[in-house]
Structure formats: C-alpha cells, structure tokens
Amino acid sequence: MTNHTVDTDFFLMEFSDSKQLQVLQGFLFLLVYLVSLMGNLLTIVLVTVDQCLHTPMYFFLKNLSFLDVCFISVTVPKLILSSLSHRSTISFPGCVCQVLFVIFFAASELFLLTVMSYDRYVAICHPLHYDAIMNREVCLQMVAASWLFGALFGVLYSYGSFSLSFCGSRKVPQFFCDVPSLLKISCSTMHVTIDISVIFGLIYGFFCSVSIGFSYVYIFNTVLRMPLLQGKSKAFSTCIPHLIVVSTFLVTAVIAYLKPVPDTAQLLDFLITVFYSVMPPSMNPIIYSLRNKEIKAALWNFLWKLDYCEFYRRKQS
C-alpha cells in the first residue's frame, strides 16, 4: 500500500444535486435514527429493570437491541451529517473503520439471530428441558461467540481494505464504505485477503442460514401438531416476525455483496443497502417489543413506577 492511500479522502454517494432534497433526506434519516435509538434503548432498559423479563429470550433480545444501536450508529449519523452539511467526504481511516464496524456488528447480529432461532426451537420443541438447555452459562457463551465471530470478520475485512491501493476515482458508489464499493474503485489487481474474507463470510452466512432453516422446520412441524389453536397462534406470532427479519437481513445483504457494483450510484443499490443496514435496527423494536404483551406490561409498569416516584418526590418537597 502506497503512502498516498492513507491520506486519501473519499466521496460518498449523493442522491441529488439539490440541496433542498439533501436536507430533506438528512431529516428523514434523522427521524429514522432517533426512532431506532429510542426503541432499542427502551427495550434494553425494560429488560434490565423488569425481573419478569430476565429469561433467555429477553436476554438475547436485549443484546440484539444493543447490537442494533451500534450497527445503525456506524453509518446513519455520517449520512445525516453529509446531507445537512452538503459535504460527503470521508477519510481513508474513517472509511476503513466503517468497514470494520459494519462487518463486526452485522456478523454478530447474524449469529445472534441464529441463536434466537435455536432458543425458540428449544422452547417450542423441548419445553420440559428448556431451563436445563438454555441455562445462564450457555446463554452467556452464545452471546460471547456472536461478538467473537463479529470481531474476527471485522478485522479480516478491514485489514483487507487497508491492503488496497486507491489511485483513480475516489467516488464510493454507496452512502457508506463497504467492501464491494471499495473493490470497485481500487486500482489493486490483487486482493487475496478480501477474497478469502468473502469466502469465509459466505460459509458463515450459509451455516447460519441452514441452522435457522432447520430450527424453523422443526418449529413449524411441532406447532402444526399442537391440538390447541391458541398455542399455534402464539407460536406463529412469535416465530414468523423473527423469520421475516432474518430473511430480509440475509437476502438483502447477500445481494448487496454479490451483486456487481455499478459505475455510478443507483437508487436500487441504495435501497438494497438500506434494507440490511438501516431497516433491521429500526424494525426490530417494533417486531420484537411493541407486539409483545410482556414487553407492553413491563413498559406500563415502568411508567407507573416513574409516575409514582415523581408524585412521591413532589409530596415530600
């Protein structure tokens, strides 16, 4: 890697030359970002303070919410700042950091979603052994494994990005730095590290996809044999939203990384990237929390306690 590469500033994709539309885009993503932050942080607080939610399912949900906060914070704030300031530049170290953390949190989230599908499999197919199988130690090990896999892939991909040279165009055809876009504008003819990383990433994604698929095959097979309609409805309402989120996340991520990158920025590529990098962190609180009766009960209980404490404080003063 030549010295001039490290000092290179890149230009991220702009979707309009109109400053008014850029400002509108900035405020739109600011709204999405704030909604995502509030929803995920609220989930973390509720699961932490409510003793009734101290179960493996909600432990994984809390970790998923934390990952979502981190994941969306890597790319969207920069997009908002670029839209509102009309400056779309990013330094080479900043670009590589985006690659590192996007891959880190995406890989961690994929493994955690796999763990959550296994948790639902054990809860529905082996309910009598659930507490023994999904004990605290096992849950901690699974979460630690998700962070470990994320860190490994993040380091691999970011190291591969550092090994590239950029001596031509500096216009990244995406609103944040991702590996396909960097490969598109790189003048390096050899990028073995990135190729190896992509192969390992595909194997990892395939393993997680197959694991999730088998989990839901067994889940749906067990649910269909349930005699009570209410039990079927509850099981499907819990599992189907999770399956939709996982499918959307996987399919759009695979398309984004395997689809040839165009020479110029296109709206379709932007939408595909939004679906795997922005939509899951924004939709997960709605799908997993706001539709959940136990989360709703915890929220009302939390608000009641806040109101009671405020009333008691005023009475004392």
Ordered DSSP codes for 71-91: HHHHHHHHHHHHHHHT--EEE
Model confidence at 238, pLDDT cuts 50, 70, 90, reads low
Model confidence at 10, pLDDT cuts 50, 70, 90, reads confident
Task: Give me the residue label for tokens 């994941």.
Answer: 71
Most confident range, picked from 47-56, 99-108, 276-285? 99-108
Is 3-290 a CATH 1.10.1040.10 domain? no
Q: Rounded to two decimals, what is the model's pTM?
A: 0.86
Report in angstroms the alpha-carbon separations of 305 from 228, 230, 297, 309. 37, 32, 12, 6
Tokens encoding 120: 């639902």
- Give pLDDT, residue 290: 62
Most confident range, picked from 78-82, 232-236, 247-251? 78-82
Question: In the predicted model, what is the mean pLDDT of residues 272-283?
Answer: 82
- Give pLDDT, residue 305: 66
pLDDT of 248 over the 90 cut? no
Q: How many residues does the chain have?
A: 317
- Give pLDDT, residue 104: 95
- Give pLDDT, residue 2: 44
Tokens encoding 9: 């500033």
Contacts 24+ apart (CB under 8 A), 208-213: 208/110, 208/111, 208/113, 208/114, 208/250, 209/250, 211/114, 211/117, 211/118, 212/113, 212/114, 212/117, 212/243, 212/246
- Give pLDDT, residue 174: 82
Contacts of 302 (CB under 8 A, 6+ apart): 45, 46, 49, 50
Select the more confidently predicted residue: 300 or 142.
Answer: 142
* Percent of the chain with pLDDT strictly greater than 90: 27
Least confident of 4-18, 67-81, 133-147, 176-190: 4-18
pLDDT of 269 over the 80 cut? no
For 129-181, write each residue's pLDDT tens digit.
999 999 999 999 999 999 999 999 999 988 888 787 877 778 888 888 888 88
CB 149 within 8 A of CB 111: yes
- Give pLDDT, residue 6: 53
What mean pLDDT value characterizes the chain? 82
pLDDT of 4 over the 50 cut? no
